[in-house]
Amino acid sequence: MSISEILQNKFVNTKIIEEKGKIFVENNTKEILTHIKTDLGFDMLLSLYATDYRDYIELNYYLYSSVKQEYLTITTHVTSNTDSVTDVFKSAYFDECEIYDMFGVNFTGNNNLKRLLMPADWKGHPLLKNYEYEKEAVYE
Amino acid sequence: MNYIYNLYLELLCRLGIPEIFGEITFAVIPFVIIAAVLILVVLFLVLFERKLLAFFVQRKGPNRVGLYGCLQTVADAIKLLFKENIKINAGDRILFNLAPILSLTPVIIIWGLLPYTSNFEFMKFDFSLLFYIALTFIPLIAVFLAGYSSNNKYSIIGAVRAVVQGISFELPILFVILAVSVLSSSLNLYEITNAQNHFGIFGWYVFPCFLGFLIMLIALPAELNRCPFDLSEAESELIAGYNTEYSGMRFALFFLAEYSLLFASSALIAVLFFGGYNSPFGIYLAELLPVKAILTSILIYAEQIFWFFLKTMLIVSFYIWVRATLPRIPAHKLVNISWKYLLPASIINFIIVLLIKVIFGGAEW
Amino acid sequence: MNKMKINIGPQHPSTHGVLQIITELDGENIVNCETEIGYLHRGMEKLAENRTYLQYLPMVDRVDYLGGFFNSFAFCDAVENLSQTEVPQRAKYIRVLMMELNRIASHLLWLGTYLLELGAISPYFYAFREREMILRFFEKLTGQRLMYNYFKFGGVRKDIEFTEDIEEILKVLPEKLKDYERIIADNPVFLERTKDMGIITEEAALNYSITGPNLRATGIKYDTRKESDYYKDIDFNVITAEKSDALNRYLVRTGEIKESMKIISQCLDWLKTDTSDCISSKINEINLKLPEGEYISKTEAPRGLTLCCLVSDGSEKPYRVKWRTGSFYAVQILPELLKGHTVPDIMAIYGSLDVILPEVDR
């Protein structure tokens, strides 16, 4: 059984599809990732990154298993906020802060979400496709 | 000495200045001479250190200013003179300005205590060794005042570290000095030097008191805040420790004090353990000359100064070699070294010296 | 007893860049610690979205300037995979050779600066003396000492010359490494300052996603080179240790220098016996248009795993480039490691993690 089938059997309510080599998950990411970490043995979250597709923001979780030496990618589509996975993988904290900084996605459950790379009083989220340089850089 | 004093008084009398003035200033002139010699020697010493450090890492030291770089320190000093004199706003202004002066002045007095030759002495009195050690406490206090009055967190950390280090390493030094004074039955630096003259090179105190020599060698860089014990001015952690806020001439005074104290401490080791100005052959080469005249005694003094400086510079080179090799020892482990290892070792050394003195009972050693 | 808040950085002689560490001290003990990054943010990822692939390629070296070849390779690999280009065998070996030389140069610089922070001033000069030989070879071959722009899509720009220099390096370096071991690894002060300092446990390393020599020192054998088909005919070991403290991380890195020398000599032998002279495949790099898709390319940089996630939408400019670098996560684990230590240990621990700030801030 492939991984997406295992997951679909466990989480029957959420839509889990495998496309283009990645596993697309509709929502409920935190529980799915907890299950993947504890039962399927993917214990390293190598990277968590986001891409802006104008209508939605796509989050990618790139996982690695040090036991089986395999890689796995989980994707979701997000509009404005989603669950934080810092309780599952501690390395996600910096990643989520950076995504909040660059894309404006709010992570509920992350108790210290702050701007990481831009200055603390910056307005606007730079990596969005509709980010305009002149208008949004306001220093009062 | 009396001859020169009378000459001086006569000169002042010819110029019309009252005699009391001559009496007061005559005591000060030696210190002016020492201060001038100190600056020259430290100039050379700073350049020597930079060249020797560069030799250890396969580089050339400074070699542009002057012949082989000998005017480099002069250029540095002139540059420091031109720097802006930063005055602090908050923090204790009086102590801030006092600390560099307090750091350098005792060292000038210490230089006067050292036995360069057997006859041209500046200060020769019965407890000069104890006075020496008492004076080395004052630059330590100056370091603490500097750090405390700077109103800067890095300086306070550096100052506290320096004081902790200095206090812990004083006790082993005192015990070793006790041992040496037992061997020579005197605290006078000149008599200690003369007492080592009896068997040529084998009369030097490094042989009976070898453990004490090692303890002094380790403990003295800790007093000077010198590598490997330079936690208080660790560049990679605290910017510059206690002298972060100093600039210009005040910084130059700290720098000068550190290097002249380095020379004085190495000279102390040379005097206590290696026979000071005595030649290792037992007699001076100048005494072998067939012609006996005033020239002979001047040659003897010159040779004594030569041996004194040679031994001191060898020990200074050893310290520079250690600086090039070892990393820094962290503060909490440093105090360990002093209390757990050096202090018991110095007590053992004292007992050994007492035994040696009793066994060879009263013979000159 | 009042706690003192002291600020180390961002301008500091030894934070390897601009990193701010805000520590709360109780005497000399560290009670709490936070890091603040973002002082060197140059917008590498946003810059990619307005430049063509060829215009972005020279900028890629600067993500981690001490490992320019690795970033370059990550980007080229992603582009080649998306455009289904085949890289000729000779170019593959040249790429491996340059990357391993770069790894040696980076580890030598780390060695020198780590010991300079601890207080010893001589190993810095000795390490730079060897690194200078490598940089001179790079300058002769590519024209640049640090930002090479030597890899291109489909291969390399110039064939390799001056192989005598590489042989000279391979002859001189082993003896010097023995000298370093005597002056550093047998030095009791160094051992005392690095033994059992900043221990990263296996679970912490996996949880915080630490990669590279920091992870291999815990015992987990994760090296992307073994999974890559560039290294499939090359024989080398993956160096690990039992426990990741500062001393073992030092030993792992010096071991990696020796393994890199083995790899370089094997590559050099292959290149000498090779008769083909094709160093790049024919690909139009000026008007390169990649088909739609995504690809994640992996490289084992000296500081950890470097990922380049390239998303393309069919046009001549990348849609999104994401750089995942190893130092980013090492900075994240730093406050955990510093709890309970004293101020002199900050540099001993932070230096052993081998963090470089351009990689963190991009």
**Backbone CA torsion sign across C230, C235, C241, C246:** negative
Residue with tokens 């050099």: C268
Please count the residues of chain A: 140
Give φ, ψ of A50 to 5 degrees: -125, 150
Question: Using N-to-C axis directions, what is the helix angle for B153-184 and B128-149, rounded to 10°?
Answer: 170
Shortest Cα–Cα distance, C178 to chain B (Å): 16
Is the Cβ of C248 closer than 8 Å to some Cβ of chain A? Answer: no
DSSP C79-145: HHHHTTPPPPHHHHHHHHHHHHHHHHHHHHHHHHHHHHHHT--HHHHHHHHHHHHHHHHHHHHHS-S
Looking at residue C14, what is its pLDDT? 62
Give the pLDDT confidence of B151-190 residue by residue, as tens digits.
777 778 778 878 888 888 888 889 998 888 888 888 888 8
Share above pLDDT 70 across residues of chain C, in percent, rounded to a whole number: 99
Structure tokens at C317: 């400019």
**Cβ of A73 and C305 within 8 Å?**
no
DSSP state of A85: -
CA C362 – CA A94 distance, rounded (Å): 14
Question: For chain A, how big is the Rg over CA atoms in Å?
Answer: 16
Q: Please state, as a whole number, how many other Cβ atoms lie within 10 Å of the Cβ of residue A138.
A: 9
pLDDT band with cut points at 50, 70 and 90 for residue C74: very high
Number of structural domains (chain C) is 1
By C-alpha distance, which of B45, B50, B80, B54 is closest to B261? B45
Q: Judge whether residue B235 has pLDDT over 60.
A: no
Closest Cα to residue B356, out of B173, B177, B180, B172? B180
Q: Which residue does chain C place closest to A101, by CA atoms?
A: C38
Do B301 and B117 contact (CB within 8 A), yes or no?
Answer: yes
Q: CA-CA distance, C75 to C73, in Å (whole number)?
A: 5
> Cα distance from B329 to chain C (closest Cα, Å)?
6
Which residues, listed in sequence order, are joined to residue A55 by a DSSP beta bridge? none
The better pLDDT of the pair C293, B286 is held by: C293
Question: Closest partner residue to B227 among C4, C119, C346, by Cβ?
Answer: C119
Question: Does residue C199 carry a pLDDT above 70?
Answer: yes
**Shortest CA distance from C128: residue in chain B:** B57
Tell me the pairing of strands A57-65 and A16-19: unpaired
Buried b vs exposed e over C181-198: b needs ≥16 C-beta within 10 Å? eebbeebebbeebbeebb
Which of C227, C328, C362 lies at the smallest CB-CB distance from A94?
C328
What does the pLDDT read at residue B232? Answer: 67
Three-state SS at C22: strand
How far apart are the C-alpha atoms of A25 and A4, rounded to whole Å?
9
Q: Is the pair B, A in contact (3+ CB pairs within 8 Å)? A: no
Pairing between β-strand C4-8 and β-strand A57-65 as defined by DSSP bridges: unpaired
Nearest by CB to residue B325, choosing from C13, C122, C192, is: C122
Q: What is the pLDDT of residue B313?
A: 92
Mean pLDDT of chain C: 87
CB atoms within 10 A of CB C216: 25
pLDDT digits (tens, 9 = 90+) for B92-123: 788 888 888 888 889 888 888 888 877 766 66
Residue C9 pLDDT greater than 80, yes or no = no
Task: Inform me whether the pLDDT recorded for C152 exceeds 70.
Answer: yes
Task: Give the integer Cα–Cα distance in Å for A135 and A137.
Answer: 6
User: Which residues on chain C are in Cβ contact (under 8 Å) with B237?
Assistant: 8, 14, 343-344, 346-347
Q: How far is CA B173 from CA A81, B305, B350, in A?
A: 68, 26, 11
Inter-chain CB proximity B331 and C347 less than 8 Å: no
pLDDT reported for residue B62: 82
Kindly report the number of other CB atoms within 10 A of residue C2's CB atom.
5
**Residues in CB range of B67: below 8 A, 6 or more apart:** none
Residue C13 — very low, low, confident or very high, per pLDDT cuts 50/70/90?
low
Rounded CA-CA distance B261/A112 in Å is: 53
* Residue B289 predicted with pLDDT over 70: no
Average pLDDT score over chain A: 83
Which residues between 68 and 127 in chain A have a beta carbon less than 8 angstroms from any beta carbon of chain C?
Answer: 69, 73, 89-91, 93-94, 102, 115-119, 126-127
Q: What is the pLDDT of residue B24?
A: 77
User: Is pLDDT above 70 for B362?
Assistant: no
Higher pLDDT, B40 or B242: B40
Which structure tokens are listed for C285?
């790099």
ipTM computed for the complex:
0.85
C228 touches chain A (CB under 8 A): no
Q: Minimal CA–CA distance to A5: which of A31, A23, A26?
A: A23
Mean pLDDT of C77-98: 89
CA dist B316 and B320 (Å) reads 6
pLDDT in tens, C224-279: 888 888 888 888 888 888 888 888 899 999 999 999 999 999 989 988 888 777 77
Nearest residue to C80 via CA among C50, C51, C57, C108:
C57
| B365 has a pLDDT exceeding 50 | no
- State the CATH number of the domain containing residue C226: 1.10.645.10
Task: Please answer yes or no on whether A46 and C41 come within 8 Å at the CB atom.
Answer: no
Give the per-residue pLDDT at C135: 92
**Which residue, among B52, B42, B113, has the nearest Cα to B257 in the 3D structure?**
B42
Structural domain range at position C123: 4-361
Reference B199, options B270, B283, B299; nearest CA is B283
The span from the first CA to the last CA of chain A, in angstroms, equals: 58
Residue C342 has pLDDT above 50, yes or no: yes
Residues B272-291 as b or e (16 or more Cβ within 10 Å = b) = bbbbbbbbeeeebebeeeee
User: Do residues C244 and C205 touch, judged by C-beta distance below 8 A?
Assistant: yes
Q: Quick check: C17 pLDDT over 80?
A: no
- Contacts with B154 from chain C: Cβ below 8 Å: 6
Q: Is A47 close to C309, i.e. CB distance below 8 A?
A: yes
pLDDT at B282: 67
What confidence score (pLDDT) does residue B208 get? 82
CB B104 within 8 A of CB B257: yes
Interatomic CA distance for residues C98 and C69, integer angstroms? 7
Mean pLDDT of C18-28: 82
Asked if C13 lies within 8 A of B228 by C-beta distance, the reply is no
- Asked if the Cβ–Cβ distance from C342 to B332 is below 8 Å, we say yes
Which residues of chain A carry a pLDDT beneath 50?
none
B239 to C12: CB separation less than 8 angstroms, yes or no: yes
Query: From the list A45, A60, A127, which residue is nearest C45 (CB)?
Result: A127
CB of A127 within 8 A of CB of A52?
yes
C307: nearest CB among A43, A47, A118: A47
Asked if the A3-134 domain carries CATH number 3.30.460.80, the reply is: yes
Q: Exposed, middle or buried by CB within 10 Å (0-12, 13-18, 19+), for A136?
A: middle
B 208-267 residues with CB < 8 A to C: 227-228, 230-231, 234-237, 239
Give the CA diameter of chain C. Answer: 74
- Copy the structure tokens of residue B202: 């084998």
Rg of chain C in Å (alpha carbons): 21
pLDDT at A138: 59
Determine, for residues C13 and B234 on separate chains, whether the beta-carbon distance falls below 8 Å: no
CA separation for the pair B305, B294 (Å, rounded)? 17
Distance from CA of C298 to the nearest CA of A (A): 11
Inter-residue contact B162 to B170 (CB < 8 Å):
no
Give tens-digit pLDDT for B186-205: 888 888 888 887 776 777 88
Predicted confidence (pLDDT) at residue B287 exceeds the cutoff of 70: no
* CB within 8 Å: A90 and C43: no
Q: Measured between CA atoms, how close is A95 to chain C, in angstroms?
A: 9
